[in-house]
Amino acid sequence: MERELFGFEITHGDPSGARCGLLRTPHGVVETPNFIFCATKGTIKGLTMDQMRAAGAQMILSNTYHLHLQPGEEVVESIGGLHRMMDWKGPILTDSGGFQIFSLGHGATACEIKGKRGLMGNQSLIKIEESGALFRSHLDGSHRLLTPEKSIQIQRTLGADIILTLDECTPDHADRRYVELSTQRSHRWEQRSLDEFLKNDDGSQALYGIIQGSTYENLRRESCDFVSNRAFFGQAVGGSLGVNAEQMRQIIALVGQMKNSIRPTHLLGIGTVEAILHGVQCAMDTFDCVHPTRLARHGGALVFRDRGDGKFCLNLKNARFQRDRDPIDENCSCYACSRASRGYIHHLLKAKEQLGGQLLTIHNVAFMCRLMGKIRCAIRGKSFRALLSELLA
Amino acid sequence: MERELFGFEITHGDPSGARCGLLRTPHGVVETPNFIFCATKGTIKGLTMDQMRAAGAQMILSNTYHLHLQPGEEVVESIGGLHRMMDWKGPILTDSGGFQIFSLGHGATACEIKGKRGLMGNQSLIKIEESGALFRSHLDGSHRLLTPEKSIQIQRTLGADIILTLDECTPDHADRRYVELSTQRSHRWEQRSLDEFLKNDDGSQALYGIIQGSTYENLRRESCDFVSNRAFFGQAVGGSLGVNAEQMRQIIALVGQMKNSIRPTHLLGIGTVEAILHGVQCAMDTFDCVHPTRLARHGGALVFRDRGDGKFCLNLKNARFQRDRDPIDENCSCYACSRASRGYIHHLLKAKEQLGGQLLTIHNVAFMCRLMGKIRCAIRGKSFRALLSELLA
């Protein structure tokens, strides 16, 4: 039955290594490469799901850690499960819950990426045991144990289409020996996650294994082999990707070569234009990051031009936009660009009105969807390298 | 030309005193009685104008005080004027800017109604002179003088359809002698507002006079006569309405009998269901208040039933809604009721997610539009008293 509801077909390859595919789930087909937007606590901050659909979003992600603590997976289930609760009819991915516990517990730079606010200065991780991770709830201080089995059970109750195994996300500063032992333990946890998953598999969900190994080539290779040799539907690339952009590129390129090439592959927590373009070249199929939506709430609009700072970004809080009647991007057909001027958004941001961040979120979601559409179009037309030159020139 | 763009036609009367009308403006016709929603700083907090239109809103109000200080009327003009800036194609009303200055300056209970937050403890009013009101900006502390002429000039630059004269809003605790002198000064200010308005009148805006006089019958009568005898297109009922619901009902009833009966009449700052139903009986045509939208941001949903507390309100923060799969109101066809359960909204409110307040705002706007629609329908069908019994039973 699983094979009926889930599927992954690679439809186009490009000489660069990039590929297009169709990821089939019980809640619809996702064209890949694609971007998965973060609905951390069960909502894309400030947007209705109609606005997400109108902006072109195909898939979203929710965080098991946050939903387990509030409102709790049983509450989500009792109000209809994640899809119905959020009114999102498309595919959903949930993570294992480990990332938040570990990145915060270790105080790693990775905590910059997700879930930082409201958790700062709160070391959530108490202890890692063979059985799982003992942590402290940031909401009520209660002690909780997250085991591989428990993570799968929670994700089953939440009801996402694609779920992830529990792994340890090691910090950038961990030494080789620590990462080696951690990677081996993560593999044992992943095996237990898979066993738990298969015990009650009714075909309505698919499990991705996670490729760990931090910045160490041999550990990444071991992890690729481990995941590839087990009955996971897909795989996600997790763990430390190094301390700078160059190291990240090397690790992703390496994993791109060593991973199981016929399975859908998700690159966790990556969301800048440059990193996505590189990831696509390394045969990564999906990406997620809070970057586009968080940037919006801070006044940043993603654009293809005007990137003097190399960030594909306009800061609409800048005083130069005060009397600007133009839309964020005249070539964008999103709701914000059809209706609002840069000057109006500037005013809303200055006046601390929610609508400023909302309009920018709509635009940034639409931008990411347009970017991914351009990428797919270029791969299908065997012109991905030309797109790279155009965008990164 | 003014007569071409603006008009008010009373189409139905009810034995109760209530009436239906059509208020014609350059930006469309408003069916009366109707509710005008507050876009204080140039936005309905958290909603796009498409969401406002979908919820059924016909007219909105912006505050001259707030927009004058931020971003400034010239900035609004340079990005296309209020309608284009906000992307609101329907009629807009602006107030004179006086209410915020006076209600805060006097420390009156009226400041409970509007603009309180962020201004508390900041006595904005410095001095009332014959020329106008000297006040302090709550944003940068700068001293400013608002004269009747200046208020009209600002409102002309902002570009609303219907604008108001400058008056002094006296506090509830003012004594009779003070109110008498104040009402006379308000009349002089209103005359100056009208003179300034007529100087540059191109027919694109219409001016309402304001009926003052606080809780004193003879002063209210003087004010009704003053406004009625001058070339205002319509009139608004301002000033203190007393210290309790019974006194408010008496004053509104009195003004309802004494005012010019063929002009459109706006009751300022009134937004509860009970008060609107009473105002309609007293031939009030339009109403505005932050109540429906502010209530939403605090977790309150307006409903026709479940009003054990007499407030037509459900507090969705209440724990009893945690696992509630039902919509806010199964008879409501708004976006929120079509898509979200009470349990989901409860979760969003608890998690401090913007979307909770947004969904409730959509619902409360739709509720007010439904309420006003029911009222108009009942008046047309000569059954307004039956509606009163049904709603207030």
Instruction: Name residue A60's beta-bridge partners.
Output: A37, A92
The pLDDT value recorded for residue B104 is 66
Instruction: Give the residue among A259, A267, A263 at the shortest CA–CA distance from A287.
Output: A267
Mutate to test the interface with A, among B334, B347, B361 (most CBs of A within 10 A): B347
Q: Mark whether A102 and A128 lie in a shared domain.
A: yes
| Residue A224 distance to chain B (closest CA, Å) | 37
Within a domain: A299 = no
Q: Do B42 and A322 touch (CB under 8 A)?
A: no
A139: confidence class by pLDDT, cuts 50, 70, 90: confident
Within a domain: B206 = yes
Q: Do A43 and B355 touch (CB under 8 A)?
A: yes
| Residue A77 distance to chain B (closest CA, Å) | 9
* Weakly modelled stretches of chain B, pLDDT under 70: 1-3, 104-123, 306-310
Please give the residue of chain A at the shortest CA–CA distance from B358: A46
Identified catalytic residue from B95, B167, B285, B329:
B95
* Residue ranges making up the domain that contains B375: 301-381
Please give the residue of chain B at the shortest CA–CA distance from A355: B46
Identified catalytic residue from B14, B167, B288, B329:
B288
Q: Which residues of B touch A347 (CB under 8 A)?
A: 41-42, 70-71, 75, 79, 85
Length of chain A: 393
Q: Tell me which residues of chain B have a C-beta less than 8 Å from any C-beta of chain A.
A: 41-51, 70-71, 75, 78-80, 85-87, 322-325, 335, 339-341, 343-344, 346-348, 350-351, 353-355, 358-359
Helix, strand or coil, per DSSP, at residue B207: strand
> How many pairs of residues across A and B have Cβ atoms under 8 Å apart?
124
Q: Mark whether B178 and B314 lie in a shared domain.
A: no
Q: Mark whether B283 and B311 lie in a shared domain.
A: no
Instruction: Give the residue among A104, A105, A122 at the shortest CA–CA distance from A113.
Output: A104
Q: Which two tokens stand for residue A326?
A: 């133009």
Q: Which distant-in-sequence residues (6+ apart) come within 8 Å of A37 by Cβ?
A: A44, A52, A57, A59, A60, A61, A288, A292, A293, A365, A368
Q: Do B49 and A339 touch (CB under 8 A)?
A: yes
Identified catalytic residue from A161, A167, A285, A288:
A288
| Residue B327 distance to chain A (closest CA, Å) | 11
pTM: 0.94
pLDDT tops 70 at residue A249? yes
Q: Do B325 and A79 touch (CB under 8 A)?
A: yes
Q: Mark whether A19 and A68 lie in a shared domain.
A: yes
| Residue B64 distance to chain A (closest CA, Å) | 14
Domain termination site, one of B247, B265, B289? B289
| Residue B320 distance to chain A (closest CA, Å) | 12
Within a domain: A100 = yes
- How many structural domains compose chain B? 2
Q: Is B195 a catalytic residue?
A: no
Domain termination site, one of B289, B309, B328? B289
Q: Which two tokens stand for residue A323?
A: 């009397």
Q: Do B79 and A351 touch (CB under 8 A)?
A: no
Instruction: Name residue B302's beta-bridge partners.
Output: B313
B49, B59 contact by CB (below 8 A): no
Within a domain: A295 = no
Instruction: Give the residue among B373, B361, B374 at the shortest CA–CA distance from B51.
Output: B361
Q: Which residues of A touch B68 (CB under 8 A)?
A: none
Q: Which two tokens stand for residue A378?
A: 């270029």
Q: Mark whether B367 and B274 lie in a shared domain.
A: no
Spatial separation of the C-alpha atoms in residues A169 and A102, rounded to whole Å:
6
ipTM: 0.94
Q: Mark whether B267 and B331 lie in a shared domain.
A: no
Q: Which residues of B touch A339 (CB under 8 A)?
A: 48-50, 87
CATH of the domain at A145: 3.20.20.105
Spatial separation of the C-alpha atoms in residues A217 and B308, rounded to whole Å:
67
Within a domain: B345 = yes
Within a domain: A296 = no
Q: Is A167 a catalytic residue?
A: no
The pLDDT value recorded for residue B124 is 78
Q: Which two tokens stand for residue A205?
A: 């969900």
The pLDDT value recorded for residue A309 is 57
Instruction: Give the residue among A228, A232, A288, A286 at the shortest CA–CA distance from A257.
Output: A228
b/e code B92-110 from CB counts within 10 Å (16+ = b): bbbbbbbbbbbbbbbebeb
Sign of CA dihedral B277, B282, B288, B294: negative
Rg (CA), chain B: 20
The pLDDT value recorded for residue A335 is 98
Q: Which residues of A touch B358 (CB under 8 A)?
A: 46, 48, 354
Rg (CA), chain A: 20
Within a domain: A297 = no
The pLDDT value recorded for residue B353 is 98
A106: confidence class by pLDDT, cuts 50, 70, 90: low
Q: Which two tokens stand for residue B346?
A: 């409860």
Q: Which two tokens stand for residue B354?
A: 């913007």
The pLDDT value recorded for residue A138 is 84
Q: Mark whether A227 and A267 lie in a shared domain.
A: yes
Whether the bond between A71 and the residue before it is cis, its omega within 30 degrees of 0, is yes
Q: Do B42 and A347 touch (CB under 8 A)?
A: yes
Spatial separation of the C-alpha atoms in residues A284 and A20, rounded to whole Å:
10
B63, B96 contact by CB (below 8 A): no
- With 0-12 / 13-18 / 19 or more C-beta atoms within 10 angstroms meaning exposed / middle / buried, residue B348 is buried
Which of A43, A48, A323 lies nearest to residue B75, judging by beta carbons? Answer: A323
The pLDDT value recorded for residue B171 is 84
Q: Mark whether B305 and B181 lie in a shared domain.
A: no
Give the position of tokens 């996650």: A193
Domain termination site, one of A236, A265, A289? A289
Q: Mark whether A282 and A310 lie in a shared domain.
A: no
**Amino acid identity, residue A391?**
L
Q: Which two tokens stand for residue A161?
A: 């289409």
Q: Which two tokens stand for residue A20?
A: 């297009």
- In the predicted model, what is the mean pLDDT of chain A? 92
Mutate to test the interface with B, among A43, A50, A337 (most CBs of B within 10 A): A43
Q: Do B354 and A354 touch (CB under 8 A)?
A: yes
Q: Tell me which residues of chain A have a C-beta less than 8 Å from any C-beta of chain B.
A: 41-50, 70-71, 75, 78-80, 85-87, 322-325, 335, 339-341, 343-344, 346-348, 350-351, 353-355, 358-359
Q: Which residues of B touch A78 (CB under 8 A)?
A: 323, 325, 343
Q: Which two tokens stand for residue B329?
A: 């109101």
Q: Mark whether A326 and A217 lie in a shared domain.
A: no
Give A239 or B393, the one with higher predicted confidence: A239
- The lowest-confidence range among A108-117, A174-183, B373-382 is A108-117
Spatial separation of the C-alpha atoms in residues A213 and B321, rounded to whole Å:
45
Q: Mark whether A210 and A333 lie in a shared domain.
A: no
Mutate to test the interface with B, among A139, A347, A350 (most CBs of B within 10 A): A347
pLDDT digits (tens, 9 = 90+) for B156-188: 999 999 999 999 998 888 899 999 999 999 999
Q: Which residues of A touch B46 (CB under 8 A)?
A: 46, 354-355, 358
Please give the residue of chain A at the shortest CA–CA distance from B297: A354
Within a domain: B28 = no
Which of B43, B324, B348 lies nearest to residue A348, judging by beta carbons? Answer: B43
Q: Mark whether B277 and B137 lie in a shared domain.
A: yes
pLDDT digits (tens, 9 = 90+) for A30-83: 999 999 999 999 999 999 999 999 999 999 999 999 999 999 999 999 999 999
A1: confidence class by pLDDT, cuts 50, 70, 90: very low
Instruction: Name residue B228's beta-bridge partners.
Output: none
